[in-house]
Structure 1
């Protein structure tokens, strides 16, 4: 099963994807690369266009020295001082271009936190508080990005606006189910998902408005719509393509056309229903969400896997289930996810773990570490959301 999962990860190899996409790209006067895959995406671009000034923004785990490029490291999933410096550097480089010049922008997942440029009087602390609040509320990535775009000078087309009057084109590695370009890294090169008024309405409906920092409420309340220049954007990798690559590696499996999205408890129920339907292997792509109710450690893939194991307690067929993040990192942990089976709960119990209590406090990592079921791949240098595999024996 791990081999099948890694076939999906390999399809999202950012370096290969960019190499294939560079034919026909106009020689740029500047290369800007943003996201967890920024180094791998920038490397072939610099090889094709040597001597071009290049700024790369990524996370520490995926950092590397690139000849001819400046590399800035930002925080993820919560922005830090490096993220603030990265956002300022991106905007400064972009605004330095003039009419007649051209920029190649390389975008991948994680960019929302790795580079920030807070709107209004917001501080980095305000921005971090907003990120924590949205992550902990279980909002899907599109809803989170609607809010983040309207609190940023960079996201929601902000980078495209900073590049004008120069021209630009973007190559994008999607970490968003459905590949909405406005949601990938919060859409720095495309118009925003919605207005500030719509972001406020969302926050009110989710009972989050009064918990937002005062400066964030002020920034949303005073925001004015700004036109975003049209930019050519091309998708070079996605969750769908990686799920199809898993299917190519396991042609006898069934690839579910409906991605796994929404709350982990609902996704787990869907997986359990497939398991109970009979033998076979089923593949998914997607990205679930978790509502944080405790102070435990884990991530959406680990919690999904543990919920499946708990729900299949006593199931009379041999089974195994893998859920992993293609970036090799599930939440703030060193695991990509988990690979659970019939013996997971017994192994955890033998180490003194209470699965019900662990799930109540979002502490899936501790249980899966005890049972020996963590999926450890290391950082992959890419990010196209999550992949899942269920195998049920006869």
Structure 2
């Protein structure tokens, strides 16, 4: 194939779309449904994919007594028949998040051993499903979430804190549903696919301790509101992993998305190198590292000889330490840093995006970098280094017309990155 800017851009977009399609909730749910129950099926769930997951089950089981409620992000709702859909805020919870937590807890109370609870969990559920412990208010939960998001904490660290401040996370939803049988279907968006970390594991036991929470707060310099501190002082732990007997199935995950992307690249005649599905760290630092890997491949054919695609997944972080910040998310910040690291070298393109279609809080999933990215940005009067320092990567890629906008994809298997080396 003749590789030029147009053909490479087209391929990268097909690769990204294949990664998203591999995690389509309708297909993933149908492949993983348990046997139909003799009695009722109560569906609960939280996350950006939960409404689409619920809709797939409702359509698949017309002959089963199905009811329930799930919560998803604003703009991610789809009709789910007999299952009620609530929309709430992400990444910081709102009143509807609180309503969702109360409603779901009420839905699973009073069940019997003949009932089946199917919990549908996906990324974003931690902020969408809120049930504050102790005397905490919604404002307290919002303050905790905002502090966590700004701290640079990993998703695992954030969820550890959230669980110990909740009446529904960290396996407590499963306790509330007893003695009903619980089957959890999970679309993973976390490094390592630990179901206890996805949506903060409402139906999965957790071995973290309050001491672990205190260590995270100290290391990340996070101040909790007084009522949240009081919850920690009360010392009520979470159910341990061995305490709950429900079944958990990972039905879609970043590794599956990377495999689907690699298949498309291979069909196009490219070598593929998958660096991993659980890469973490600061977005701008990851951009510098990946830039070095791409330049090495281009110049010395190591670690892979071109034409090739270097794939990776995971979730980077953007730490904001004081001052004002612009618009952008993890993926566009990564790409702007990558563009600076590549410094206009020929023969290297890249795409990165959030598979849920929303990078951070913006309306773009991500963006594309090409060999002429910096040249075109200078012509547009954009200062790449200044915009990166001000966390304004969205404005950079908007200014050169290289944002990728998919709209909500109704799934979420974390961030996706692909670098094409000619």
Count of aligned positions = 390
Name the structure 2 match of 1:229. Answer: 244
Write the deviation string for residues 354-391 of structure 1: whole angstroms up to 9, x where unpaired: 21111111111111100111111111000000111101
Deviation of 1:25 after TM superposition, in Å, equals: 5.0
Name the structure 1 match of 2:366. Answer: 337
2:37 & 2:192 partners in 1: Cα distance?
28
Name the structure 2 match of 1:296. Answer: 326
Name the structure 1 match of 2:265. Answer: 250
Deviation of 1:206 after TM superposition, in Å, equals: 1.9
Structure 2 CA distance for partners of 1:314 and 1:6, relative to 1, 3 Å: closer
Structure 2: stretches of 5+ with no match in the other structure: 1-11, 299-305
Tell me how large the CA RMSD over aligned residues is.
1.5
Q: Is contact 2:159-2:200 (8 Å) kept? A: yes
Q: Does 1:213 align with 2:225?
A: yes
Which of residues 110, 122, 125 is equivalent to 1:111? 125
Write the deviation string for residues 289-333 of structure 1: whole angstroms up to 9, x where unpaired: 111244211000000000000111142x22211111000000010
Name the structure 1 match of 2:9. Answer: none
Which of residues 41, 51, 59 is equivalent to 1:47? 59
Moved more, 55-64 or 382-391: 55-64
Moved more, 131-140 or 249-258: 249-258
Name the structure 2 match of 1:3. Answer: 14
Deviation of 1:212 after TM superposition, in Å, equals: 1.5
Name the structure 1 match of 2:6. Answer: none
Which of residues 177, 186, 196 is equivalent to 1:182? 196
Name the structure 1 match of 2:287. Answer: 268
Q: Does 1:31 align with 2:43?
A: yes
Name the structure 2 match of 1:367. Answer: 396
TM-score if structure 2 supplies the norm length? 0.89
Structure 2 CA distance for partners of 1:248 and 1:26, relative to 1, 3 Å: farther
Q: Is contact 1:197-1:221 (8 Å) kept? A: no
Q: Does 1:283 align with 2:294?
A: no
Q: Does 1:307 align with 2:337?
A: yes
Write the deviation string for residues 185-242 of structure 1: whole angstroms up to 9, x where unpaired: 111111125112210121112222xx21111111112131243422100110000110
Q: Superposed, which structure 2 residues align to 1:130-209 within 5 Å? A: 130-208=144-222
Q: Is contact 1:172-1:234 (8 Å) kept? A: yes
Deviation of 1:34 after TM superposition, in Å, equals: 1.8
Moved more, 25-34 or 213-222: 25-34
Write the deviation string for residues 244-303 of structure 1: whole angstroms up to 9, x where unpaired: 110011112323243432111331122112211124321112211111244211000000
2:338 & 2:60 partners in 1: Cα distance?
46
Structure 1's consecutive aligned runs of 4 or more residues displaced over 4 angstroms after TM superposition are none
Name the structure 2 match of 1:123. Answer: 137
Name the structure 1 match of 2:116. Answer: 102
